[in-house]
Chains A and B, each alone.
Chain A
Amino acid sequence: MNDSRSISIHVPVLARVEGEGALDLIIENDLIKELKLRIFEPPRLFEKFLEEREPDQVIDMVARICGICPVAYQMTAVHAIESLFKVEVTPWIRNMRRVFYCGEWLQSHALHIHLLAAPDFLGFNSVTEMAADYASEVRRGLRLQTLGNDLIALFGARSVHPVGACTGGFYHAPSNEQVKAIVTRLQQARSDANDLLHWTAAMPLPDDSQDFVSVALQHDIEYPMNEGRIISSNGLNIGADEFNAHFREMQIPHSTALYSLLHDQPYLVGPLARINLNTDRLPEDLHKLLDQYDIHFPSQNMFHSMIARAIEIRLVIDEAIRLLSDYQYTEQTAVNWTPTAGTAYAATEAPRGLLWHRYEMNASGLVEQAQIVPPTSQNQARIEEDIKLSLQNLGLNQSEDAIRLRAETVIRNYDPCISCATHFLKLSVTRN
């Protein structure tokens, strides 16, 4: 038997991810010779579009970057701008922004677990195939996703590209009756969330531990969402204004998304990184639930991202109930603000991980320059590294189908949002 072989695997269009990407993989003599996660979706130039825009235009425009995580873009922009303008919001606004964000995590994670990732781990090609054997689980996913969408719409008027957020707060407050109705649904959803956590913990996830650096926000007492310092598992602890001193964005030929490196090394952002760095910020009853399973955080098994998402679903349901339980309608949904010239920075935790914004603003409050670093571009180098390690752990002598499936499973495990990630750092044109 000849034990040397060459395999060229080309996945022309990645399925069950948001946006347009592909994977090229060449294996020679059981060694990975070339691996490229190609992101070829055209650059979307949002940072340029934001120039000369007013704060509230920025907040509406950045929501259009992503149909799945518009709240993350809005909240990051609003926190950056308010930080520069020294706006102090009321406790009501702060709490309702957290609820708004809870809705986004809920719908995004429910979609990813049930419709996108679970089929990989349970041996199906699609959620439609999976529904034949797991109908009640798929229905649960759709219910949770709908609830998350409705929570976003409660404050944003609609769940995709919401329009309710503004500098200083919200344009409107939901009525007491609307909030009471959704709290009832949230309470009913707790059992779905518990079942989901049990389901993911029992799922046959590959045992694939790797050495990687986690990066996430950390808040003094809360599980991070809108606020906190950027920390890493290798000792980083910085404010949002120091991001560019430690993280470097770079362009590579095979991707329209920028790569981002921490001290020139790949790193992980997202639910697993958040939990790895914030295990002690999880509520006590969630710790008790987790004690039932032989899964421990921090975890270096990337596939525990599935469980991390399920934990965060339970977390945001409880968090939304807590924040809405004493809800009172108010007319004071926003505070006044005055523009200030300077540089605005903020980082928040999008469902897929750390999202960082920087805006140079003039004295009229118009954006002069914008920089947006989304989670998927931060994860891009880590995804490529993960595929290499995961395939080596799987065994490069496996069949092409097995290698292809594992590579796609690894990519989908990150829930990459390619549409968010595609942009150019710099366009250089030379004319003779």
Chain B
Amino acid sequence: MPATSIIGIGSHHGADQLGWLLCERLKHLDWPDTIDIQLCRTPAQLPELLNHCENAILLDAIKTDTDSGKILQLQLKDLADNPNASHSCHGFGVTEALELATALGQLPASIIILAISIDDKTAYDGVISPDLLSELHEVIEDHLNKL
């Protein structure tokens, strides 16, 4: 399986911690040695993290009008087409970080964003359901097998 970094994006706050929590849970599953799992603490760190990986899978929470816990597979252009898609610190969010990595030629050979939907109206309780984790594992393995 090709070397791939699974990068959880987020913070300690509310639903924004979802990317981190999922990565922490994924670490307890069986992965080949070529897979590494890490956390990204601010979007400004993302270009440097991407600079050092061959393939990347980004995990992040996404606010939607739909139910929580849906896994959306996004490509870079999906973020570019939705300039308000990412929230940010210093006006520098995931979208801007990926644009910067692109401008610097620091994107890995392949990159997908797995966005986990969060219901905008309900406070996130920090619980990861076994079904969500299982589905995420499956989606990641499918993606890795296609690389």
Q: Residues of A with Cβ closer than 8 Å to B?
A: 15-18, 64, 67-68, 111, 115-116, 126-128, 131-132, 135, 138-139, 142-143, 145-146, 149, 158-161
Contacts and interface: CB of A to CB of B under 8 A. Distances in A.
Interface stretch (B23-31, B42-50, B60-68): B42-50
Contact of A132 (B48, B51, B103): B103
B103 A128 contact: yes
A131 B44 CA distance: 14
A262 B12 CA distance: 36
Given A15-B91, A16-B90, A67-B42, A161 B96 contact: no
Given A142-B48, A145-B45, A128 B91 contact: no
Interface in B85-122: 89-92, 96, 99-100, 103-106
A135 B104 contact: yes
A116 B45 contact: no
Contact of A111 (B41, B44, B103, B106): B44
Contacts of A15: 91
B42 A160 contact: yes
A128 B41 contact: no
A115 B90 contact: yes
Contacts of A135: 103-105
Contacts of B90: 16-18, 68, 111, 115-116
A16 B11 contact: no
A131 B96 contact: no
Given A138-B104, A161-B12, A128 B42 contact: no
B48 A143 contact: yes
Main secondary structure on chain A at its contact with chain B?
A: helix
Contacts of B51: 142
Given A18-B89, A160-B41, A142 B103 contact: no
Contacts of A128: 96, 99-100, 103
Contacts of A16: 90-92
Interface SS, B side: mixed
Contacts of B96: 126-128
A290 to B, nearest CB: 28
Given A128-B99, A138-B103, 8 more contacts: A18-B90, A67-B11, A115-B90, A126-B96, A135-B103, A139-B106, A145-B44, A160-B41
A64 B103 contact: no
Among the interface residues B42, B44, B104, B105, which one has the most CB atoms of the partner chain A within 10 A?
B44
Contacts of B42: 67, 160
B44 A115 contact: yes
Contact of B41 (A127, A131, A158): A158
B46 to A, nearest CB: 9
A359 B99 CA distance: 44
B89 A67 contact: yes
B120 to A, nearest CB: 17
A149 B99 contact: no
30 contacts: A16-B92, A17-B91, A18-B89, A18-B90, A67-B41, A67-B42, A68-B89, A111-B44, A115-B90, A115-B92, A127-B92, A127-B100, A128-B96, A128-B100, A131-B100, A135-B103, A135-B104, A135-B105, A138-B103, A138-B104, A142-B48, A142-B51, A145-B44, A146-B45, A146-B48, A149-B41, A158-B41, A159-B41, A160-B12, A161-B12
Contacts of A64: 12
Contacts of B41: 67, 149, 158-160
B91 A131 contact: no
B45 A138 contact: no
A323 B105 CA distance: 36
